[in-house]
Amino acid sequence: MENDLIFKLNGPRKKLKNLLSEYNIPERLLLNILSELNIDPSKFSSEVNKKERKSIIRNLIELSFKIDQLGSYKTAMVTKGGVALMKVNPKTMESRMLPSLYFLGEVLDIDGDTGGFNIQFAFSSAASAIDAINLKKI
């Protein structure tokens, strides 16, 4: 991204905001960064000087945030804890303690970042259990 961005900032006669939007950066974040840097988003990329170019790139690449606090239980998207994974056969999701008892999804002690991992695990663990149950019936 860095080299591409340097090239583009040096190059075309495009408004800075429009040019940076090509990198799928949310507009509010982009405008905030430029405002923090005192750079006018409506100026043309060819008018951005070397110092400004460097600070834009540094801010986009090294942007870090301090987390003030976590959200409450009301806004939580996944629970931690649950049935210990070692007590379950990961191929069939069947309990190692009580045969024919299956554990799936969030009831297990497994959690991932938001972005589809948890729901995917719920579906995948269910599919594994269904396959195992169907095989048992044969």
Ligand X SMILES: Cc1cc2nc3c(=O)[nH]c(=O)nc-3n(C[C@H](O)[C@H](O)[C@H](O)COP(=O)(O)OP(=O)(O)OC[C@H]3O[C@@H](n4cnc5c(N)ncnc54)[C@H](O)[C@@H]3O)c2cc1C
Nearer Cβ to ligand X (5/104): 104
Asked whether position 114 contacts ligand X by CB under 6 A, the answer is: yes
> Which of 50, 61, 62 minimizes the C-alpha distance to 9?
50
Nearer Cβ to ligand X (32/114): 114
Burial class for 93, CB neighbours closer than 10 Å (0-12, 13-18, 19+)? buried
Binding ligand X by CB under 6 A: which of 60, 119, 132, 133?
A: 119
Nearer Cβ to ligand X (118/128): 118
Residue, CB closest to ligand X? 105
Nearer Cβ to ligand X (51/80): 80
> Which of 85, 79, 91 minimizes the C-alpha distance to 129?
91
HSE-up of residue 44 (Cα within 13 Å, Cβ side): 7
Q: Which residues pair with 44 in a beta bridge?
A: 15
Task: Quote the Cα angle for 6-9-13, to 5°.
Answer: 155
Query: What minimum distance in Å lies between the beta carbon of 115 and ligand X?
Result: 6
Asked whether position 105 contacts ligand X by CB under 6 A, the answer is: yes
Interface residues toward ligand X, by CB under 6 A: 77-78, 104-107, 114, 116-119, 122
